[in-house]
A and B are shown apart, each in its own frame.
Chain A
Amino acid sequence: MNNTLKMVLVLFFVCLFSAVSLSFLYVKTKPQIEQNKILKEVKFKKQIVPLAEKFEVSQVNNITVEKCYDHENNLVGFLLKSSCRGYAGEIEYIISVSTFFPLQITGIKVITHKETPGLGSNVTKEKFLSQFLNRTSTEIILKKDNINGKIDTISGATITSRAITNSVRNLLENEILNNFVKETIEPKIQSPKKVFKTQQKIYISTQTVNSIQEQ
């Protein structure tokens, strides 16, 4: 009995010390890890919209949309950040889309994923992601799912490829998002009242940018 109690106590205290020290270190390193993730995102943004210098963040129905302007304040594209459920967890990605209809993808990068190394992890490779470039939503479907599809599946990682392909397609076909893009591109064609409305929206969104920066 005594021996059993000793076994339980030793295991308990070893695990307790381990848990305490790990949670301490987790809290200590978390800000730095988050910082690294943000730096990586900024780097990816530069890569997929090289012309962009100014970003305007707004939330459209749970999707983070960033309008990108170059140094002369011309709209050069939209950055959309989204995530989908892959084989082993969330896959976070950013895409940049064209400023004309039908919406085309001009760049795509995977930020974080937890897929199997060597199989699912190939979603981050150019070979797979470059297939999305200059495609519209009707073409973004796996070749094996639809004859009109233009995306080759990664061998051994059908679930991962299908998840990201379908998620990107749904994002491009999102009606609210399309309306938002339409309003941003063509404010002049609409009636004066509507122009006022869009201006108000832009104003609000810059406010949110400021508030985010203040935080």
Chain B
Amino acid sequence: MKKVIEVFINGLIKENPVLIMMIGLCPFLACSTSANDAVGMGLAATFVLTCSNIIISLIRKIVPKEVRIPVFIVIIATFTTIVDYLIKAYFPALSESLGVFIPLIVVNCIILARAEAFASKNNVFLSLIDGLGMGAGFFVAIVLLGIIRQFLGSATVFSSKELFSNPAVIMILPPGGFLAAGVVITIIKYIENKLTNKKPTSNLPEGCEGCTLKSRCMELLNK
């Protein structure tokens, strides 16, 4: 049980895919123009991540090492297409606003990274938890950015009611995505540094201090 919570928290906070590991930034920036789109993208990516993690973990023992990447990609692409069809059929408005970004979940590197780093090495249940945890981490990050950008850029949050006049339209355009993401990541990094500085890291090689994969390397070193 302790391990389950640890895996989930790891995905949500400690190794948050977007804010700490800095992977999957493309959908993070592209689909956060409004909070509704961000929720749709977050849920779609979480679904694909969890399902592909389960299947990959199920077949991890029969897949030869040489063809594992093509097999992973086929599985991920299958689930992405499933999501694409379902959204097109039952949420046409969402399909219109997300457009090509749903098929692009295939190349979302969070999903392939978790398949390779976690699901292909752990049992089905833990892979499910990891998928949910990482998905939740992505969901929280993209919805947070979506709310910030929609609030500043179109003065609305989750509805069409304008909260104030003359919003900064640049925030819902691509430059605004970079600005908002930069500020959010800076704040997260500041908090992270504050927290980790209390526990001095001793046996790290030089130049590892600012690295985003530091915690992962530490784990490997301790083993």
A residues neighboring B (CB under 8 Å) = 3, 6-7, 10-11, 14-15, 18, 21-22, 25-26, 29, 32-33, 36, 39-40, 117, 121
Contacts and interface: CB of A to CB of B under 8 A. Distances in A.
Given A18-B77, A26-B85, A40 B64 contact: no
A7 B67 contact: yes
A139 to B, nearest CB: 31
B99 A121 contact: yes
B63 A10 contact: yes
A29 B75 contact: no
B71 interface: yes
B81 interface: yes
Given A18-B77, A121-B99, A11 B71 contact: yes
A155 to B, nearest CB: 16
Tell me the interface secondary structure of chain A in the complex. helix
Contacts of A15: 74
Interface residues of B, number: 22
Contacts of B92: 36, 39-40
B89 A36 contact: yes
A14 B71 contact: yes
Contacts of A7: 64, 66-67
B74 A29 contact: no
B88 interface: yes
Interface string B56-79: 000100111011001100110110
A10 B89 contact: no
Contact of A18 (B66, B78, B85, B99): B78
A117 to B, nearest CB: 5
